[in-house]
Structure 1
Amino acid sequence: MVNGLSKICVVLIGDIVDLAEKEVLFTIESLNIEYKYLGRTGLLLFLETEEMLAEYLCYRCSMVREVTKIILESDFLNLYKNFNLNLFNIEKTKSICVRIKSYEHKYKPEVQKLERIIGEFFYKAGYKINLENPEIIIRGYIISEKIFLGILLAKSYRKSYEERRPSKRKVFHPSSMIPKFARLFVNLSKVEINEFLLDPFCGVGGFLIEASFFVKHCIGIDIDIRMLKGAKENLKFYNIYNVDLINASALKLPLRKIKYIATDTPYGIASSTKGIRHSELVKGFLNELSNYKGILACILTTESNLNQNFKIILKYPQKVRSSLIRWIYILSNYG
């Protein structure tokens, strides 16, 4: 690898894998860090970039399971011939274990045997094996007749999303999105950590909660004062203090400057639109937004056709039920 960059494998979570990939790439771009896209096979996204990104991607990206530095790539049947212990460059004072996952059913019976054989290579070379609490995990992935071996750099803490589920918040509202998707859509806005993020339909604060963990400042706007009171309680419940709440209409935004937006536009009987039809609400909001320049926005809506003075960077359908599709848009009016 050139310029001190490494080949890493980002293991994605498979709910919406195309958007999971975008989340990772947009997050790296928001940090202005160099990377090279090497491709994706199934849930495995391969990049050439800085190793230090691994911990941050696992912390910030909700659709990332783990990140591994790839040391060796081989056809599965030629692994033993291609295996070279010296490539791993691990100090012999470190304890290790080998963990391999097969994404191909026919190789799953071989996983334990493979872990044992590779572990024996390290053991015979003088390494300590610790299956319970190793200092270093040799991680492998079998997919498309290939095996990728490397060193696990970071794993995400999935329980944190469960701890912030809408039902566990101080104030619950049925329209609230689960945290991993709220975090995903915030990241799709490409928000930079030293900027502020706006949610103009903030409800009881789901997007704001997730954004607050890595964005310097957030602003939530809602026309319904009851929603804002709920958002205030939820933010306080999680000890979040880098968010301002404003009781106002998204059709007349009380801000002089806006750059990054992530929002779930209200729809359905559980959401308050003050009697305005969803289509008219979205149209009016985009019309108001067109008064600002240099915007990047991730917007969820049931409207399938948005073309009001914005460039559509991404349009992605999300099936809610057989009769309802929500559309995920990433819009920009740069330049």
Structure 2
Amino acid sequence: MYVLELGGQDDAFARREAASAASAVDVLAPGLATARGISDRVRHLAFTHRVCDLVGTTDPDIESAAALLSAATIDREGSVAVRAVDVRASTGIDTQQAERTLGGVLTDRGFAVDLDNPDHVLYAYFSDPDGDEEGGTGEACCALGWLEAESVRDFGERQPTDRPFFQPGSMDPLEARALVNIAGAGPDATILDPMCGTGGLLLEAGLVGADVVGGDAQEKMVSGASENLRYALDGGGHPDRDAYPEPGEWEVFRSDASALPVADTTVDAVVFDAPYGRQSRIEGELAPLVSGALGEANRVAGRCVLVADRDWRDAGTNAGWTITDYFRRRVHRSLVRHVHVLE
């Protein structure tokens, strides 16, 4: 069993993304989840910071954590360090005191403490729904776990404004990564974005090893997305290659999202950010555009992740999809993104 340290404030969304790289993901406490199994893909999750091999859970106080650690079986050798986290500042625990106390337990059990370069790191997560301003779910607890994997946190180095081609309104890489993960991006997967814009979703899917295909109605966007993908996946814009799988192949073309030049069932998933009402000259243009794109997505793939500025669940159902998940994600006061997961 594993404990997952979630990021952001939307635990349900983070758990859904984590389920693309772990099995049997479930609620533990605010900012925390459990999983029965994990894959290498956890290193490329956006809203899971760390995955730890779970030692156990107990009450969210230092004395209970120390008692749990004292009684636990520890099948490890080498030096250790302890990191305590007051998840979302929900418990008011003294994390330094927690680290000293738990470090003392490990020292008493014969382990050498090395704070700079330990062989093993024990994380102690203290979380309480009553102290979570976002009203998190789960029970108050302390979860102890040995660090198993950390996600690659390089999103700040890959901002849309740093790409060769930029347009206002481009999605943040962190959000884009989560969406393509939910879609199933990874080695051996092919991901299609029929409204690719500047290529941000395709870029994140390609970085984690997927082959990516994009279409857009505007030649300017096709050219710009191609430039960005060439830079990020083929050239010097690619991040540390040791931290990622080999980038996938890519192709971008000009097309109508409701009449894609793609054969039936030839891609694994479709993911797209539909035009927002304020971006369309005529509000009435959106319904047939999105409905047509959803119909085409259902023809070419078995899964779709749709992002929009409104609820399109009825359109998804009418296009033959089953809505398996739906999230509302606030970007700022005037924009809420609606995330639809369709299968």
Place the TM-score, normalised by the shorter chain, in its bin.
Answer: 0.7 to 0.9
Residues 208 and 147 of structure 1: is their aligned pair in 2 closer, same or farther, counting only changes over 3 Å?
A: same
Report SS of the residue matched to 1:117.
helix
Mapped contact 1:303–1:327 kept (Cα < 8 A): yes
Q: Which residue of 2 aligns with 1:4?
A: none
| 2:262 is aligned with 1:255 | yes
Shifted more, 41-50 versus 314-323: the winner is 314-323
TM-score (norm 1): 0.83
Mapped contact 2:196–2:216 kept (Cα < 8 A): yes
Residue 21 of structure 1: CA displacement? 0.6
Residue 140 of structure 1: CA displacement? 0.6
Query: What are the superposed Cα offsets for residues 273-312 of structure 1, whole Å, 9 maximum, x if unpaired?
Result: 899822231122223344x165200011234242322211
Note the residue ranges of structure 1 that are not aligned, 5 or more in a row: 1-6, 29-34
2:223 paired residue among 198, 215, 229: 229
Aligned length: 311
Residues 177 and 123 of structure 1: is their aligned pair in 2 closer, same or farther, counting only changes over 3 Å?
A: same
CA distance in 1, matches of 2:304, 2:169: 20
2:81 paired residue among 76, 82, 97: 97
Q: Which residue of 1 aligns with 2:151?
A: 156
Mapped contact 1:196–1:215 kept (Cα < 8 A): no
Residue 142 of structure 1: CA displacement? 1.3
Q: Which residue of 1 aligns with 2:250?
A: 243
Amino acid at match of 1:255: V
Residue 107 of structure 1: CA displacement? 4.9
Q: Which residue of 2 aligns with 1:283?
A: 291
Mapped contact 2:3–2:145 kept (Cα < 8 A): no
Residues 277 and 326 of structure 1: is their aligned pair in 2 closer, same or farther, counting only changes over 3 Å?
A: farther
| 2:24 is aligned with 1:40 | no
Residue 234 of structure 1: CA displacement? 1.0
Residues 250 and 242 of structure 1: is their aligned pair in 2 closer, same or farther, counting only changes over 3 Å?
A: same
Residue 86 of structure 1: CA displacement? 5.9
Residues 179 and 82 of structure 1: is their aligned pair in 2 closer, same or farther, counting only changes over 3 Å?
A: closer
Residues 137 and 272 of structure 1: is their aligned pair in 2 closer, same or farther, counting only changes over 3 Å?
A: same
Q: Which residue of 1 aligns with 2:112?
A: 128
Residues 268 and 189 of structure 1: is their aligned pair in 2 closer, same or farther, counting only changes over 3 Å?
A: same
Residues 89 and 231 of structure 1: is their aligned pair in 2 closer, same or farther, counting only changes over 3 Å?
A: same
CA distance in 2, matches of 1:106, 1:245: 46
| 2:19 is aligned with 1:56 | no
Residues 234 and 106 of structure 1: is their aligned pair in 2 closer, same or farther, counting only changes over 3 Å?
A: closer
Mapped contact 2:191–2:271 kept (Cα < 8 A): yes
What CA RMSD, in Å, does the superposition of the two structures yield over aligned residues? 2.6
Shifted more, 168-177 versus 68-77: the winner is 68-77
Query: Matches of residues 99-248 of structure 1 in structure 2 within 5 Å?
Result: 99-103=83-87, 107-144=91-128, 145-158=140-153, 160-191=154-185, 193-240=187-234, 242-248=249-255
Query: What are the superposed Cα offsets for residues 201-223 of structure 1, whole Å, 9 maximum, x if unpaired?
Result: 01111001100022431101111
Q: Which residue of 1 aligns with 2:274?
A: 265
Note the residue ranges of structure 2 that are not aligned, 5 or more in a row: 129-139, 235-247
CA distance in 1, matches of 2:285, 2:12: 31
Amino acid at match of 2:41: Y
2:69 paired residue among 57, 74, 83: 83
Q: Which residue of 1 aligns with 2:341?
A: 330
Mapped contact 1:296–1:331 kept (Cα < 8 A): yes
